[in-house]
Protein backbone atom coordinates (compact mmCIF):
# COMPACT_ATOMS: atom_id res chain seq x y z
CA UNK A 1 0.00 0.00 0.00
CA UNK A 2 1.27 3.44 -1.00
CA UNK A 3 1.66 5.25 2.32
CA UNK A 4 0.51 8.53 0.77
CA UNK A 5 -2.89 7.21 -0.34
CA UNK A 6 -5.80 8.88 1.46
CA UNK A 7 -7.18 6.57 4.16
CA UNK A 8 -10.38 7.46 6.00
CA UNK A 9 -10.53 5.93 9.48
CA UNK A 10 -14.14 6.00 10.64
CA UNK A 11 -14.37 5.93 14.42
CA UNK A 12 -10.84 7.15 15.13
CA UNK A 13 -11.72 8.36 18.63
CA UNK A 14 -12.80 4.94 19.81
CA UNK A 15 -10.46 2.37 21.29
CA UNK A 16 -10.12 0.41 18.03
CA UNK A 17 -10.00 3.32 15.60
CA UNK A 18 -7.56 5.18 17.81
CA UNK A 19 -5.22 2.19 17.97
CA UNK A 20 -5.36 1.84 14.17
CA UNK A 21 -4.62 5.54 13.68
CA UNK A 22 -1.67 5.49 16.09
CA UNK A 23 -0.21 2.38 14.47
CA UNK A 24 -0.53 3.70 10.91
CA UNK A 25 1.07 6.99 11.93
CA UNK A 26 3.87 5.11 13.65
CA UNK A 27 4.77 3.13 10.51
CA UNK A 28 4.66 6.13 8.21
CA UNK A 29 1.19 6.45 6.69
CA UNK A 30 1.05 10.15 5.95
CA UNK A 31 -2.42 10.87 4.59
CA UNK A 32 -4.94 9.80 7.22
CA UNK A 33 -8.41 11.33 7.08
CA UNK A 34 -10.51 11.54 10.27
CA UNK A 35 -13.66 13.24 11.50
CA UNK A 36 -15.24 13.33 14.95
CA UNK A 37 -18.90 12.41 15.33
CA UNK A 38 -19.62 16.10 15.90
CA UNK A 39 -17.96 16.96 12.58
CA UNK A 40 -19.58 14.10 10.64
CA UNK A 41 -22.60 12.13 11.87
CA UNK A 42 -22.10 8.77 10.16
CA UNK A 43 -25.78 7.92 10.75
CA UNK A 44 -26.76 10.73 8.36
CA UNK A 45 -26.67 9.41 4.80
CA UNK A 46 -26.66 12.80 3.08
CA UNK A 47 -23.75 14.09 5.18
CA UNK A 48 -21.72 10.93 4.56
CA UNK A 49 -22.30 11.08 0.79
CA UNK A 50 -21.31 14.75 0.69
CA UNK A 51 -18.17 13.99 2.69
CA UNK A 52 -17.09 11.24 0.28
CA UNK A 53 -17.83 13.44 -2.74
CA UNK A 54 -15.67 16.18 -1.27
CA UNK A 55 -12.77 14.21 0.23
CA UNK A 56 -12.53 11.23 -2.17
CA UNK A 57 -10.72 8.74 0.09
CA UNK A 58 -8.86 5.87 -1.58
CA UNK A 59 -9.30 3.49 1.35
CA UNK A 60 -11.87 3.25 4.17
CA UNK A 61 -11.37 1.50 7.50
CA UNK A 62 -14.68 1.15 9.32
CA UNK A 63 -14.01 1.09 13.07
CA UNK A 64 -17.14 3.13 13.87
CA UNK A 65 -19.93 1.46 15.82
CA UNK A 66 -22.23 1.74 18.79
CA UNK A 67 -20.79 -0.81 21.20
CA UNK A 68 -21.41 -2.06 24.73
CA UNK A 69 -21.70 -5.10 26.96
CA UNK A 70 -24.63 -7.35 27.87
CA UNK A 71 -26.40 -4.66 29.92
CA UNK A 72 -26.25 -2.01 27.20
CA UNK A 73 -27.33 -4.46 24.49
CA UNK A 74 -30.29 -5.58 26.60
CA UNK A 75 -31.41 -2.05 27.43
CA UNK A 76 -31.05 -0.46 23.98
CA UNK A 77 -31.78 -3.13 21.33
CA UNK A 78 -33.18 -0.73 18.73
CA UNK A 79 -30.22 1.64 18.89
CA UNK A 80 -27.72 -1.22 18.68
CA UNK A 81 -29.48 -2.58 15.60
CA UNK A 82 -30.42 0.60 13.74
CA UNK A 83 -27.49 2.91 14.48
CA UNK A 84 -24.91 0.29 13.57
CA UNK A 85 -26.70 -0.46 10.30
CA UNK A 86 -26.97 3.23 9.49
CA UNK A 87 -23.26 3.83 10.14
CA UNK A 88 -21.93 0.88 8.16
CA UNK A 89 -24.46 1.05 5.31
CA UNK A 90 -23.71 4.72 4.70
CA UNK A 91 -19.95 4.07 4.69
CA UNK A 92 -20.13 0.96 2.49
CA UNK A 93 -22.49 2.44 -0.07
CA UNK A 94 -20.67 5.77 -0.22
CA UNK A 95 -17.41 3.87 -0.76
CA UNK A 96 -18.91 1.92 -3.65
CA UNK A 97 -20.45 5.03 -5.22
CA UNK A 98 -17.17 6.95 -5.05
CA UNK A 99 -14.96 4.10 -6.24
CA UNK A 100 -13.07 3.46 -3.00
CA UNK A 101 -10.49 0.80 -3.85
CA UNK A 102 -10.26 -0.93 -0.50
CA UNK A 103 -12.70 -1.20 2.41
CA UNK A 104 -11.89 -2.91 5.73
CA UNK A 105 -14.99 -3.67 7.80
CA UNK A 106 -14.56 -4.50 11.47
CA UNK A 107 -17.11 -6.63 13.27
CA UNK A 108 -17.18 -8.97 16.23
CA UNK A 109 -17.14 -12.66 17.13
CA UNK A 110 -20.76 -12.28 18.29
CA UNK A 111 -21.85 -12.69 14.64
CA UNK A 112 -21.49 -16.46 15.07
CA UNK A 113 -24.25 -18.74 16.43
CA UNK A 114 -24.50 -19.13 20.21
CA UNK A 115 -23.92 -22.89 20.15
CA UNK A 116 -21.64 -23.13 17.12
CA UNK A 117 -18.84 -25.71 17.34
CA UNK A 118 -15.61 -24.47 18.91
CA UNK A 119 -13.34 -22.96 17.79
CA UNK A 120 -15.48 -20.68 15.63
CA UNK A 121 -14.77 -20.94 11.92
CA UNK A 122 -15.76 -18.33 9.36
CA UNK A 123 -18.05 -20.79 7.58
CA UNK A 124 -20.25 -21.13 10.70
CA UNK A 125 -21.81 -17.74 9.97
CA UNK A 126 -25.65 -17.96 9.67
CA UNK A 127 -25.79 -21.69 10.49
CA UNK A 128 -27.85 -21.32 13.71
CA UNK A 129 -29.44 -18.83 16.14
CA UNK A 130 -27.50 -16.02 17.83
CA UNK A 131 -26.88 -15.24 21.49
CA UNK A 132 -30.06 -13.33 22.54
CA UNK A 133 -28.25 -10.82 24.77
CA UNK A 134 -26.39 -9.24 21.85
CA UNK A 135 -28.29 -10.37 18.76
CA UNK A 136 -29.19 -6.78 17.79
CA UNK A 137 -25.55 -5.75 17.42
CA UNK A 138 -24.70 -9.11 15.81
CA UNK A 139 -27.42 -8.82 13.17
CA UNK A 140 -26.23 -5.35 12.23
CA UNK A 141 -22.66 -6.57 11.85
CA UNK A 142 -23.75 -9.58 9.81
CA UNK A 143 -25.44 -7.26 7.31
CA UNK A 144 -22.15 -5.36 7.00
CA UNK A 145 -20.22 -8.56 6.32
CA UNK A 146 -22.75 -9.56 3.68
CA UNK A 147 -22.75 -6.12 2.05
CA UNK A 148 -18.97 -6.27 1.65
CA UNK A 149 -19.19 -9.81 0.33
CA UNK A 150 -21.84 -8.77 -2.18
CA UNK A 151 -19.66 -5.92 -3.44
CA UNK A 152 -16.71 -8.30 -3.83
CA UNK A 153 -18.91 -10.71 -5.79
CA UNK A 154 -20.70 -8.19 -7.98
CA UNK A 155 -18.07 -5.50 -8.49
CA UNK A 156 -14.78 -7.32 -7.82
CA UNK A 157 -13.59 -4.79 -5.24
CA UNK A 158 -11.19 -5.51 -2.39
CA UNK A 159 -13.71 -5.20 0.45
CA UNK A 160 -12.81 -7.45 3.39
CA UNK A 161 -14.33 -8.08 6.84
CA UNK A 162 -12.22 -8.75 9.92
CA UNK A 163 -14.00 -10.27 12.93
CA UNK A 164 -11.97 -9.71 16.10
CA UNK A 165 -12.52 -11.62 19.31
CA UNK A 166 -13.15 -9.71 22.56
CA UNK A 167 -10.96 -6.60 22.51
CA UNK A 168 -9.39 -4.64 25.34
CA UNK A 169 -6.57 -2.19 25.84
CA UNK A 170 -5.58 1.43 26.35
CA UNK A 171 -8.35 3.98 25.73
CA UNK A 172 -10.96 1.35 26.61
CA UNK A 173 -14.39 2.23 28.02
CA UNK A 174 -14.51 1.85 31.80
CA UNK A 175 -18.08 3.12 32.33
CA UNK A 176 -19.80 0.31 34.22
CA UNK A 177 -23.12 0.89 32.46
CA UNK A 178 -21.73 0.37 28.97
CA UNK A 179 -18.32 -1.31 29.25
CA UNK A 180 -17.28 -4.85 28.36
CA UNK A 181 -16.26 -7.42 30.93
CA UNK A 182 -12.48 -6.89 31.10
CA UNK A 183 -12.37 -3.10 31.61
CA UNK A 184 -15.36 -3.32 33.97
CA UNK A 185 -13.43 -5.80 36.10
CA UNK A 186 -10.35 -3.58 36.12
CA UNK A 187 -12.38 -0.67 37.43
CA UNK A 188 -14.31 -2.74 39.99
CA UNK A 189 -11.19 -4.35 41.43
CA UNK A 190 -9.33 -1.04 41.52
CA UNK A 191 -12.07 0.86 43.33
CA UNK A 192 -12.67 -2.03 45.74
CA UNK A 193 -8.94 -2.00 46.51
CA UNK A 194 -9.00 1.76 47.05
CA UNK A 195 -11.92 1.33 49.49
CA UNK A 196 -10.18 -1.17 51.74
CA UNK A 197 -10.30 -4.33 49.65
CA UNK A 198 -14.08 -4.59 49.68
CA UNK A 199 -15.70 -7.66 48.08
CA UNK A 200 -16.25 -7.48 44.30
CA UNK A 201 -19.50 -8.87 42.88
CA UNK A 202 -19.33 -10.14 39.30
CA UNK A 203 -22.10 -11.32 36.99
CA UNK A 204 -22.79 -14.98 36.30
CA UNK A 205 -21.09 -18.18 37.38
CA UNK A 206 -17.57 -17.45 36.14
CA UNK A 207 -17.56 -20.63 34.03
CA UNK A 208 -18.00 -19.23 30.46
CA UNK A 209 -14.81 -19.18 28.44
CA UNK A 210 -13.62 -16.13 26.55
CA UNK A 211 -10.74 -15.10 24.31
CA UNK A 212 -9.21 -11.62 24.54
CA UNK A 213 -7.08 -9.68 22.06
CA UNK A 214 -5.06 -6.56 22.90
CA UNK A 215 -6.26 -3.74 20.66
CA UNK A 216 -2.78 -2.93 19.32
CA UNK A 217 -2.66 -6.46 17.89
CA UNK A 218 -5.91 -5.79 16.03
CA UNK A 219 -4.36 -2.59 14.64
CA UNK A 220 -1.52 -4.69 13.25
CA UNK A 221 -4.04 -7.12 11.71
CA UNK A 222 -5.80 -4.20 10.01
CA UNK A 223 -2.44 -2.99 8.67
CA UNK A 224 -1.77 -6.51 7.39
CA UNK A 225 -5.11 -6.42 5.53
CA UNK A 226 -4.23 -2.96 4.24
CA UNK A 227 -0.87 -4.05 2.87
CA UNK A 228 -2.10 -7.30 1.32
CA UNK A 229 -4.92 -8.43 -0.93
CA UNK A 230 -6.67 -11.09 1.14
CA UNK A 231 -8.16 -13.89 -0.97
CA UNK A 232 -11.42 -14.30 0.98
CA UNK A 233 -14.07 -11.88 2.25
CA UNK A 234 -14.14 -12.82 5.97
CA UNK A 235 -11.37 -13.47 8.50
CA UNK A 236 -11.33 -14.10 12.22
CA UNK A 237 -8.78 -12.16 14.26
CA UNK A 238 -7.80 -13.41 17.70
CA UNK A 239 -5.26 -15.28 19.79
CA UNK A 240 -6.64 -18.80 19.44
CA UNK A 241 -6.49 -19.15 23.25
CA UNK A 242 -9.21 -18.70 25.88
CA UNK A 243 -9.79 -18.89 29.63
CA UNK A 244 -12.75 -18.89 32.02
CA UNK A 245 -14.23 -15.62 33.24
CA UNK A 246 -13.23 -16.76 36.74
CA UNK A 247 -9.59 -17.12 35.61
CA UNK A 248 -9.80 -13.71 33.95
CA UNK A 249 -11.10 -12.16 37.18
CA UNK A 250 -8.32 -13.74 39.22
CA UNK A 251 -5.69 -12.51 36.73
CA UNK A 252 -7.05 -8.95 36.85
CA UNK A 253 -7.35 -9.10 40.64
CA UNK A 254 -3.66 -10.05 40.87
CA UNK A 255 -2.54 -7.30 38.47
CA UNK A 256 -4.58 -4.66 40.34
CA UNK A 257 -3.48 -5.92 43.75
CA UNK A 258 -6.98 -6.35 45.22
CA UNK A 259 -6.96 -8.60 48.32
CA UNK A 260 -10.71 -8.95 48.93
CA UNK A 261 -13.33 -11.56 48.08
CA UNK A 262 -14.86 -12.24 44.67
CA UNK A 263 -18.62 -12.90 44.80
CA UNK A 264 -20.33 -14.50 41.79
CA UNK A 265 -23.97 -13.47 41.22
CA UNK A 266 -25.38 -16.52 39.44
CA UNK A 267 -28.79 -14.83 39.06
CA UNK A 268 -27.23 -12.73 36.29
CA UNK A 269 -26.77 -14.13 32.75
CA UNK A 270 -23.56 -15.77 31.60
CA UNK A 271 -24.03 -15.17 27.88
CA UNK A 272 -22.53 -17.57 25.35
CA UNK A 273 -20.83 -20.57 27.06
CA UNK A 274 -17.69 -20.30 24.94
CA UNK A 275 -16.39 -18.09 22.13
CA UNK A 276 -13.00 -19.20 20.83
CA UNK A 277 -12.00 -18.10 17.35
CA UNK A 278 -10.45 -20.33 14.72
CA UNK A 279 -7.71 -18.02 13.42
CA UNK A 280 -6.00 -20.52 11.14
CA UNK A 281 -6.82 -18.52 7.99
CA UNK A 282 -5.06 -15.38 9.22
CA UNK A 283 -2.15 -17.44 10.53
CA UNK A 284 -1.79 -19.15 7.16
CA UNK A 285 -1.49 -15.72 5.51
CA UNK A 286 1.23 -14.63 7.94
CA UNK A 287 -0.41 -12.60 10.74
CA UNK A 288 -0.16 -13.52 14.43
CA UNK A 289 -0.80 -11.63 17.68
CA UNK A 290 2.11 -10.46 19.88
CA UNK A 291 0.75 -9.32 23.27
CA UNK A 292 0.04 -11.97 25.94
CA UNK A 293 -3.01 -11.48 28.17
CA UNK A 294 -1.28 -10.63 31.46
CA UNK A 295 1.01 -8.14 29.70
CA UNK A 296 -1.98 -6.55 27.98
CA UNK A 297 -3.93 -6.26 31.25
CA UNK A 298 -0.92 -4.61 32.89
CA UNK A 299 -0.68 -2.07 30.05
CA UNK A 300 -4.42 -1.40 30.23
CA UNK A 301 -4.39 -0.96 34.03
CA UNK A 302 -1.44 1.43 33.79
CA UNK A 303 -3.38 3.51 31.26
CA UNK A 304 -6.50 3.43 33.47
CA UNK A 305 -4.55 4.71 36.48
CA UNK A 306 -3.37 7.71 34.46
CA UNK A 307 -6.85 8.48 33.10
CA UNK A 308 -9.31 7.38 35.81
CA UNK A 309 -10.28 10.94 36.72
CA UNK A 310 -12.53 10.89 33.65
CA UNK A 311 -14.77 8.25 35.27
CA UNK A 312 -17.31 8.72 38.03
CA UNK A 313 -16.99 6.95 41.37
CA UNK A 314 -18.69 3.56 41.35
CA UNK A 315 -21.00 2.31 44.11
CA UNK A 316 -19.66 -0.96 45.45
Tens digit of each residue's pLDDT (9 = 90 or more) over 194-241: 999 999 999 999 999 999 999 999 999 999 999 999 999 999 999 999
Q: Which domain range does residue 165 map to?
A: 7-170+212-241+275-291
Task: Please report, in range form, the residues annotated as the binding site for NADP(+).
Answer: 11-17, 106-109, 141, 164-167, 180
Task: Write the DSSP string, the chain.
Answer: --TTS-EEEETTTSHHHHHHHHHHHHTT---EE---TTT--TT-HHHHHHHHHHH--SEEEE-------HHHHHH-HHHHHHHHHHHHHHHHHHHHHTT-SEEEEE--GGGS-TT--SSBPGGGTTSSPPPGGGHHHHHHHHHHHHHHHHHHHHH--EEEEEEE-EEE-TT----TTT--HHHHHHHHHHHHHHTTS--EEEES-S--EE-EEEHHHHHHHHHHHHHS--SSSEEEES-S--EEHHHHHHHHHHHHT--S-EEEETTS---SSEE-B--HHHHHHT------HHHHHHHHHHHHHHHGGGSPPPP-
In a domain, 180, yes or no: no
Asked, as a colleague might, if the bond just before 247 is cis with ω within 30 of 0, I would say no
Please identify which of the residues 49, 112, 124, 137 carries the catalytic annotation.
137
How much is the pLDDT for 245? 97
In a domain, 253, yes or no: no
In a domain, 190, yes or no: no
In a domain, 298, yes or no: no
For residue 200, CA distances in Å to 213, 254, 273, 305 come to: 24, 13, 22, 19
* CATH number of the domain bearing residue 19: 3.40.50.720
pTM beyond 0.85, yes or no: yes
Is residue 168 flagged as an active site residue? no
Task: Please report, in range form, the residues annotated as the binding site.
Answer: 11-17, 106-109, 141, 164-167, 180, 188, 203, 210, 270
Structurally, the chain folds into a number of domains equal to 1
How much is the pLDDT for 311? 58
Confidence band for 313, pLDDT divided at 50, 70 and 90: very low
For residue 43, CA distances in Å to 56, 68, 223, 311 come to: 19, 18, 26, 27
In a domain, 186, yes or no: no
How much is the pLDDT for 134? 85
Higher pLDDT, residue 166 or 72: 166
Confidence band for 71, pLDDT divided at 50, 70 and 90: confident
In a domain, 264, yes or no: no
Q: Does position 280 have pLDDT exceeding 90, yes or no?
A: yes
In a domain, 27, yes or no: yes
Task: Please report, in range form, the residues annotated as the binding site for substrate.
Answer: 188, 203, 210, 270
Confidence band for 310, pLDDT divided at 50, 70 and 90: low
Amino acid sequence: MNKHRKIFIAGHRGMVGGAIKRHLEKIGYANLLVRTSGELDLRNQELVYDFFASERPDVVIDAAARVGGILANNDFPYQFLMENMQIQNNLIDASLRHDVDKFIFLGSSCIYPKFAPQPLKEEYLLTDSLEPTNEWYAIAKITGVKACQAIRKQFGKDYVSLMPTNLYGTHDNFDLQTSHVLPAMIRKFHEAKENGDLPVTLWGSGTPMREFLFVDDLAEAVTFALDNTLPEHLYNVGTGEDLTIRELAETIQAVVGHQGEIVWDSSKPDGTPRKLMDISKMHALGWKHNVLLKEGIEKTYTWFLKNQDGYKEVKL
